[in-house]
Amino acid sequence: MAGARVCVITGASSGIGEATARELASRGWTCVLLARRADRLEPLAKELGGEWETCDVGDRAKVDEVAARVLERHPAIGLLVNNAGIPGRGSFLEIEPERLELVTAVNYLGGVWCLRAFEPGLRVGVPSHVVNVASVAATVAFAPAGPYSASKHAQLAFSRSTAALLRGSGIHVHTVLPGFVETEGFPQRTKLRSPFLRRFVLEPEDVARAIVDAVEKNRLERTIPWFPYRLATIGQALFPRLFSSLVASKAGRHRDE
């Protein structure tokens, strides 16, 4: 990868963000780690020879403030990884309104604010890259996690839109759509009731490698693993009524359990 070798990673204190920082640092990148927990960021940045800033990406003013400090130190940014995300379990009729607003602010708007704030550095660092870590939930809606799915649908639309907007500018926008990933905030192996789906739970390191692969091979979108999630995506797109019926029956079972 040519261009600047400074990367900014949101949600970097654990899970996919931490794994991505480790993967990129091992490949010679200087990592600027952003997250809310200083106690987790500081030792990780020290270990990787990187930098850290506390930042709630759902707070636009805070993102602008942090970006200004980072760009003062590093005018050229080669990679922005919009990874920060929080769970949004529950239906639209049951979830607390405050949680719904927070899920939208972090999972969707956080990436928007970060791209706007770091865009000057990405233009200096061209060729440069933006990776939006979305989810298979961005393409398959499931009623018991509707708010989370909706936030990821919005994130996917944002990612695709900016990929088209920035085409030819030297800033390449990629989308990575993982299936279930076992992390601190998303303990999938204990939450999933389906033995079939538990077989496909990923580790954060799997997603980190997919992020690097998307950048190095300039892949627009990556769904991991391809099976069975890509099939579900295609199924909902081609047969929405049938898929909606299947999801409704699953949601009913979910409520009864």
Phi-psi region for residue 256, left (φ > 0), alpha (ψ -120 to 50) or beta? alpha
Crossing angle of helices 146-165 and 97-104, in 10° steps, is: 20
Of 45, 61, 160, 37, which is closest to residue 110 (Cα–Cα)? 61
- The answer to whether the beta carbons of residues 57 and 110 sit under 8 Å apart is yes
Query: Active site includes 108?
Result: no
Selected catalytic residue, list 148, 158, 180, 229: 148
Q: Give me the amino acid identity at 146.
A: G
3 state SS for 3-58? CCCEEEEECCCCHHHHHHHHHHHHCCCEEEEEECCHHHHHHHHHHHCCEEEECCCC
Q: What tokens appear for 30 in the block?
A: 């200087």
Angstrom CA distances, 171 to 43, 62, 80, 207, 216, stand at 31, 24, 10, 21, 13
Long-range contacts of 27-31 (CB under 8 A, 24+ apart): 27/212, 29/5, 29/78, 29/79, 30/5, 30/6, 30/74, 31/7
Just list the catalytic residues. Answer: 148
